[in-house]
């Protein structure tokens, strides 16, 4: 058994790893208790509403982290190309360089309507922010396609890195993604 998590933050960190690796359905109470070093009854003391409340705490923490290290850059004051670079770099940090699955995707099919709705809403918000990078002279529908494509490419790269356990391939994929979308912003760079 692992050493017991003492603070709320440590507890949610331990729960997060289980949900990220196993998803909602695979995160059994036994696995969650083992990861935290607590007994099931103690987990229920911290989360009286059970596994859905644990997953909601994980989602809150993941959204706070993703927003702090990546998403906030999408709406920053810098030029769009700089915001793109900062966002992609932040996404790389959030995912541990491709070694850490995303809690949002792990909880997207939680079979808990409130969690699923929050994940969908957050993805829509992030896509809208990404689309705003490409707005300007482009039609809104084209900017939205680019924002959706950016998110799809990032999460596709993360999925491949997670499956292959290859963080170097993830880093290379992020560089290609950044180059592709920087070109959509009109940035041409010979050093790519």
User: What residues in the chain have per-residue pLDDT under 70?
Assistant: 1-5, 189-192
**Distance between CA atoms of residues 189 and 192, nearest Å:** 6
Tally of residues, the chain = 192
Report pLDDT for 111: 86
Contacts of 32 (CB under 8 A, 6+ apart): 15, 18, 43, 51, 54
Cα–Cα distances in angstroms (integers) from residue 30 to residues 38, 41, 43, 181, in the given order: 10, 11, 10, 43
Question: In terms of pTM, does the model score above 0.85?
Answer: yes
For each of the domains in the chain, give its residue range(s) and CATH number, in order of start: 8-184 (1.10.357.10)
Report pLDDT for 1: 44
pLDDT digits (tens, 9 = 90+) for 44-78: 999 999 999 999 999 999 999 999 999 999 998 99
**Distance between CA atoms of residues 178 and 150, nearest Å:** 9
Q: Which of 55, 46, 32 is nearest to 112 (CA)?
A: 55
């Amino acid at each position: 058994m692992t050493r017991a998590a003492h603070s709320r933050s440590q507890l949610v960190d331990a729960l997060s790893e289980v949900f990220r690796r196993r998803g909602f359905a695979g995160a059994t109470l036994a696995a969650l208790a083992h990861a935290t070093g607590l007994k099931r009854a103690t987990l229920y003391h911290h989360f009286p509403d059970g596994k859905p409340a644990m997953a909601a705490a994980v989602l809150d923490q993941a959204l706070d982290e993703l927003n702090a290290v990546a998403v906030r850059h999408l709406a920053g004051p810098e030029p769009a190309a700089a915001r793109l670079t900062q966002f992609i770099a932040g996404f790389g940090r959030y995912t541990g360089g491709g070694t850490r699955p995303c809690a949002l995707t792990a909880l997207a099919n939680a079979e808990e309507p409130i969690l699923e709705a929050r994940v969908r809403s957050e993805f829509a918000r992030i896509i809208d922010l990404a689309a705003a990078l490409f707005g300007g002279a482009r039609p809104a529908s084209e900017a939205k396609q680019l924002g959706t494509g950016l998110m799809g490419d990032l999460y596709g790269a993360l999925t491949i890195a997670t499956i292959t356990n290859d963080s170097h391939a993830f880093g290379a994929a992020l560089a290609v993604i950044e180059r592709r979308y920087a070109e959509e912003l009109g940035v041409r760079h010979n050093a790519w």
